[in-house]
Structures are given as structure tokens and as C-alpha cells.
Chain A
């Protein structure tokens, strides 16, 4: 099994936003799986913590939720990005890139 790292604090929103932007409509389990698989199992989310994060995103209006049925015919809550969510994704992405580049510069300095 690949070695697993906790995700850096504050990036959970970014990961969720990005997953939804990429795939459109997802329920919680799908988001967890998507993050894990695309990070080749390196990033491990404590899966339950997705849900408080999703609720806070609902409050902020970044996502909307609606009930639908899964392939296995179970009721599931599906999340979708709103316009505000897309905007937020842009903001968080650029901030992440800025911080990441800065850290890289510090580490690269000899």
C-alpha cells in the first residue's frame, strides 16, 4: 500500500472545489474516491471530514445540493458548483500557486 499523507490544512476546500469543477455532479463518496485516486493514493482525507466541509460550502453558497439516485439505486446527495464556487476555485488556485511557488523558491535557494 502506498504511503499516505494527511492533506495540508486549508486545502480541503480546494480539493473539493477542483473535484466538482472537473466532474460536474458528485456525491460525497465519489469526491473522496476521486481525491484519493487522482492523488495516486498519496493524499488521504479522513473521509468523514468531507461532510462538515461540504456543509460549510453550502452555507457560503459555493455549491448546491440535490437528492438523486446512485447507479446502485440508492438515494444520495449530489453536489454541484455554483458560479460563486467557480470563482472561489479560481481564487484558491491562484493563492495555492503563489504560495507553492514561493515555498519552492525558498527551498530551491542555495
Chain B
């Protein structure tokens, strides 16, 4: 309790600040004045009396400093001095400061940007309730599942609290100004509740809405709501047309909600999946199955449970239930990007290290030039710790400036990444500079500040004061130790840079060989576009061909375009490397792809 009041007293003194000094001065002046009057009263001449009073009092400045020190705030004052001095010395060498800050900004900016990606992709990849309890049930851990299998797994397993399925869908959104082909998923009713995410507006699907005939409702993503509905909260209850069929909007999901996280990652709309007669279909594998483990059930138990069920089904329907894997959702999401991201993180850490070594090198060179200044300061009574602190403060100032510049760079880089980044990186659109990224940046600042202040600090500690004073007259450069330290730094910089160079070279090579894959035709100067007629008045077989002929004709009239060609199948898809089969298009009349406008054929 006593110490608590002591802290309060110290704080009030700190708050009084200047006032405290004035009080102290007044009190001491009174003391000396009274003493002087006493001396005069004893018959001393006035001049002598004053000197005697001062002699008896002692060193006024020292007493004042000691009085202040008693309150334990000396370090604040001294730090302020160090910072002032540090800023002055930075301003004295604007070129040096600018270069050092720029080097640090690059290092800190690159690591902060990559860390912000790692942070949201690897550390917080799933914005669902208890994401570690979520699993996928897929063939070979990746391939889709038939409707009949989904139903059997759902009904015959007991390790899961819920088993839901999703199917990709890309409907044409019409009924609002411009028609658009959007990415969507059809979900079983239990899927959104299973994820444990509340909609931002409205509701998710009610029980029974995934029955045939009741499925005409839709939930929008925040992005779609913003892009097409101007964030109008009145959108709930409104009717939109998907492939020409009216759907009622019932809810909007929050901005950071993404589903599915590892496939169809840019989905903007969800509608109920009515399996209808497909519950008997064991052939058409088009569903991704998600499940949540029951409380207390381990992944291993769930695997055994499902293995028993699939073994039974496999013996009943041979070939239908091979190699079914229960995979944690997290693994599905981050598995493919984890290693590359960590490699990139390692690379930027190397860049940061090089930046530090570089700045340390510069500071060391300057420390050599500052030997005389340091010697003078320590001769005037600056303690070893005080000198070291000066270097640290200067280091932190540089690191701080570098970090601020780096943060600006990172904020820009993150925006660029989110815009151009590959769809295979989950939640890239949610990457942002948040509090943990800021914390990371602060940690980097402290670490780099210490790291590159270390060199001049160690150097100072070894410095022979007298020798330095003598030596200081001649130009910087100097001692053997100093040049050794600098060689060491140079060597490590080169080594690090070499590692990076090799790493970057290897990456570039794999990229180049990826690009060198021959697609079997000359893709240069060739554009492709996909047109979907689903749900439109042109969808009927007779009208469809007329429509496409018109498209081909009119595209040919666009200046700078050679006569285009149409095709109902995709020739080559850069994103997946797979072709959509023509049979699929045959199953979905009204859909066709216009691909590969060729120059001749």
C-alpha cells in the first residue's frame, strides 16, 4: 500500500515538472539569502557574506539535480536529451540518414507486408467458429463426392455433429441493371450454421429450404452486396434473377466471411442445394462435403468411423467409395501455400538482415569518424552506459523512421497483393495491416535498432579513451579491430545476398519452366471470353446458335480483332490446367464458351 502511494506521489511530481524546479530554486535561494543576512548581522562585508553563504550551501546545480533524481524520473529527462541529440546528429547528415532510412524501409516494409499475409493466411486462415473442429470428407482428400455418398455418409456416421455439402454454381445474375456471371455455391441447409458465422443482415437458410421447390432463396457476400446493391440494407426481401429464376435475398454475410476457403474461394452468393432425385446418384461427383467433429471426438475416431461406413458402401457399390479421406479444413486451406509462404518469409527475413548489416556497416564507419566526439563526451563525465544509450537511441530513431516508411510501403504492397494475388491463397482479400502486424513492426524496429547499434556500441566499449583523443585528430579509419568488424559485416552481407540470389534464381527458373510448357497452340495475341446464356431468352437450342453467330459477327467488327471463332469447350484453362468436358456443357443446355478466337481456322 505504501508503495502505491509512493507511485502516486512520484507521478504528481512528474506532472508538476517545471513548477517543481521553480519551487526548488526559490527554496534554495531563500536559504542562501537568510544565511547571507546572518553573516552580515555578524559583521561580515556584504560581498564576502554572499560568497560564504554559497560556500556553505555547496554546489547548487548538483543539489538541484540530486533533488530531482530523488524522484526517479531522471531517465526520462536523459532520454529526452539523447533523442534531441540523436535527432540533431541525424539532421547533420541528411544524406546518411536518408540512405539508412530507405534501406531499413525496404527491409522492414518487405517483411511487414509478407508477415501481414502470413498473419491472415496461415495464422488466422479461417473465420469460422472453432475452425480446428471442421473437416472435409473428399475422395483422396480433394476430389468431389456424389450426392448418394454424401447422404449415406451423413446418415450412417456418428462422429460428426453435422455433415454438409456444397456444389459449385455460376449463375447469371440478372434483374438488376447489368447482367453478370457470378461465382456461387449451392449449400445444404446445415452448412452455414455449421460454420458458426452469423449473417451481418437478415438470416441464413431455414430448415427445409434445401428441399426441392423451397430453394429459391439466396445469401449475398459482403463484396457482392457492396458491388451490386450499393450496400443497401433493404436488399433483404428483394427478388433477384439467377439464371432467369427468381430468388429472394434473405441475408448478407459479414465482410470477412469466405466460403469455401480452399476451392471456389471467390464465391459471392450462396443458395440452398436441393438434392431432390440426385440422392440416388452415385455417379456424378460434384459435391464437396464438410463436417464438424462432435465434441470429444478426435480426428482419428472420425476417420475410423467413416472408414467403416465407406467400407460397407464400397462392398455394396464397388468403386464408389474408394480412398475417402477426412482432412482438417485448415490443412486443405493452408497446406498448399504454407511452404511457399514460409519460404518467402525466410527470404524477406534475409533481406531485413542484409539491410541491418548494411546500416550497421554505415554506422560503424561513422562511429570511427565520431571517435573524438565520444572521447570528449566521456572525458566530460558521460558514463559508459550513457554513451551506449546514445548509440541505442540513435539506432532506434533510425529504425523507427525506417519502420514508419516501411509500414507505408507495406500498406501499399498489401493492397497490390490483394488485387493481383493468386486465388489459391486463401483469404488474401482480408489481408490488412492490423494490430498484430503493427506489433510485428514494433518488434522488428526494436530488434533491428538493437542489431545495428550493437556494432558501434561494442566498438565504443573497446575504445581506449586516451588513444582516441590523440588519434581523433587524424582521419577516421583507424584500429585493426574496427576494420576486422567491418570485414566481418561485409562478408556476412555478401553471404546473405548470395543466398538470396540463389534462392531467387531457383524460383525464377521454376517459374520460367512453368511458362515454357507448350499448350499446343500459339497463345500470343489471343484473347478468350466466356459467355453464358443460362436463364436468358437466348437459351433455347434454336436461338442459341443464332445468338453466338451474332456475337462472332459483331466481335469481328471491333477494330483490331481478327475474325473470332467459337467453341463450346474450353481449350486450355490457365487456372486449373484442366479442360471442362464437352459432355458437361451438353448436360447444361444454354451454356457455351466462346474460346480461342483464332486468326485463321
Q: Answer whether A48 and B23 are a contact pair too, CB < 8 Å, given A59-B71, A61-B9, A75-B30.
A: no
The CA of A48 and the CA of B66, in the complex, are separated in Å by 10
Query: What is the 8 Å Cβ interface bit string for chain A, positions 46-59, against chain B (1 contact, 0 not)?
Result: 11110110111011
Closest chain B residue to A52, Cβ basis: B66
Q: Does B438 contact A (CB under 8 A)?
A: no
A84:B30 contact, CB within 8 angstroms: no
Query: What bracket does the count of chain B residues touching chain A fall in?
Result: 20 to 34
B57-65, B96-104, B265-273 - interface stretch: B57-65
Chain A residues near B23 (CB, 8 Å)? 77
A29:B66 contact, CB within 8 angstroms: no
The residue from A32, A52, A59, A61 contacting B31, defined by CB atoms under 8 A apart: A32
Q: A residues bordering B, Cβ < 8 Å?
A: 27-29, 32, 46-49, 51-52, 54-56, 58-61, 70, 72, 74-77, 84
Is chain A's interface secondary structure helix, strand, loop, or mixed overall? helix
Chain B residues near A29 (CB, 8 Å)? 30-31, 34-35
B28:A76 contact, CB within 8 angstroms: no
Chain A residues near B373 (CB, 8 Å)? none
A27:B30 contact, CB within 8 angstroms: yes
The CA of A61 and the CA of B13, in the complex, are separated in Å by 13
The CA of A47 and the CA of B6, in the complex, are separated in Å by 26
The CA of A56 and the CA of B72, in the complex, are separated in Å by 10
Cross-chain pair count, CB within 8 angstroms: 75
Distance in angstroms from B38 CB to nearest chain A CB is 8
Closest chain A residue to B59, Cβ basis: A48
Most chain-A Cβ atoms within 10 A of its Cβ — which of B10, B23, B31, B35? B31
The CA of A12 and the CA of B62, in the complex, are separated in Å by 18
The residue from A48, A55, A61 contacting B2, defined by CB atoms under 8 A apart: A61
Most chain-B Cβ atoms within 10 A of its Cβ — which of A47, A59, A74? A47
A27:B27 contact, CB within 8 angstroms: yes
A59:B34 contact, CB within 8 angstroms: no
Chain A residues near B6 (CB, 8 Å)? 59-61
The residue from A27, A52, A56, A84 contacting B63, defined by CB atoms under 8 A apart: A52
Q: Answer whether A46 and B2 are a contact pair too, CB < 8 Å, given A59-B10, A76-B30, A77-B23.
A: no
Q: Which of B3-60 contact A (CB under 8 A)?
A: 5-6, 9-10, 13, 23-24, 26-28, 30-31, 33-35, 56-60
Q: Can you list 11 A-B pairs, Cβ within 8 angstroms, ordered by A? A: A48-B28, A49-B58, A51-B28, A51-B64, A55-B68, A56-B70, A58-B9, A59-B70, A59-B71, A61-B2, A76-B27
Q: B residues bordering A, Cβ < 8 Å?
A: 2, 5-6, 9-10, 13, 23-24, 26-28, 30-31, 33-35, 56-60, 62-64, 66-72
The CA of A61 and the CA of B70, in the complex, are separated in Å by 12
B57:A47 contact, CB within 8 angstroms: yes
The CA of A73 and the CA of B68, in the complex, are separated in Å by 27
B10:A46 contact, CB within 8 angstroms: no
A47:B35 contact, CB within 8 angstroms: yes
Chain B residues near A72 (CB, 8 Å)? 34
Closest chain B residue to A44, Cβ basis: B56
Q: Beyond the given A48-B62, A51-B66, A52-B70, please list 11 additional residue pairs across the A-B interface where CB-CB is below 8 A.
A: A28-B30, A28-B31, A47-B57, A52-B63, A52-B69, A55-B68, A58-B9, A59-B10, A59-B71, A72-B34, A84-B2
Is chain B's interface secondary structure helix, strand, loop, or mixed overall? helix
The CA of A58 and the CA of B20, in the complex, are separated in Å by 13
The CA of A69 and the CA of B367, in the complex, are separated in Å by 55
Closest chain A residue to B9, Cβ basis: A59
Distance in angstroms from B365 CB to nearest chain A CB is 43
Q: Answer whether A52 and B67 are a contact pair too, CB < 8 Å, given A27-B27, A61-B2.
A: yes
The CA of A49 and the CA of B31, in the complex, are separated in Å by 12
Closest chain B residue to A67, Cβ basis: B23
Q: Answer whether A47 and B2 are a contact pair too, CB < 8 Å, given A55-B67, A59-B72, A61-B9.
A: no
Distance in angstroms from B390 CB to nearest chain A CB is 26
The CA of A52 and the CA of B34, in the complex, are separated in Å by 19
Chain B residues near A75 (CB, 8 Å)? 26, 30
The CA of A101 and the CA of B235, in the complex, are separated in Å by 93
Chain B residues near A47 (CB, 8 Å)? 31, 35, 56-58
Chain B residues near A70 (CB, 8 Å)? 30
The CA of A46 and the CA of B31, in the complex, are separated in Å by 12
Q: Answer whether A74 and B63 are a contact pair too, CB < 8 Å, given A47-B57, A56-B70, A61-B2.
A: no
Chain B residues near A60 (CB, 8 Å)? 6
Q: Answer whether A48 and B57 are a contact pair too, CB < 8 Å, given A76-B27, A84-B2.
A: yes
Closest chain A residue to B58, Cβ basis: A48
Closest chain B residue to A64, Cβ basis: B9
B2:A74 contact, CB within 8 angstroms: no
Chain B residues near A54 (CB, 8 Å)? 67
Distance in angstroms from B539 CB to nearest chain A CB is 87
Chain A residues near B59 (CB, 8 Å)? 48
Q: Answer whether A77 and B27 are a contact pair too, CB < 8 Å, given A29-B34, A47-B58, A61-B5.
A: yes
The CA of A84 and the CA of B5, in the complex, are separated in Å by 12
Chain A residues near B72 (CB, 8 Å)? 59
Chain B residues near A77 (CB, 8 Å)? 23, 26-27
The CA of A102 and the CA of B24, in the complex, are separated in Å by 39
Closest chain A residue to B54, Cβ basis: A48
Distance in angstroms from B293 CB to nearest chain A CB is 60
Chain B residues near A61 (CB, 8 Å)? 2, 5-6, 9
The residue from B5, B27, B58, B70 contacting A28, defined by CB atoms under 8 A apart: B27
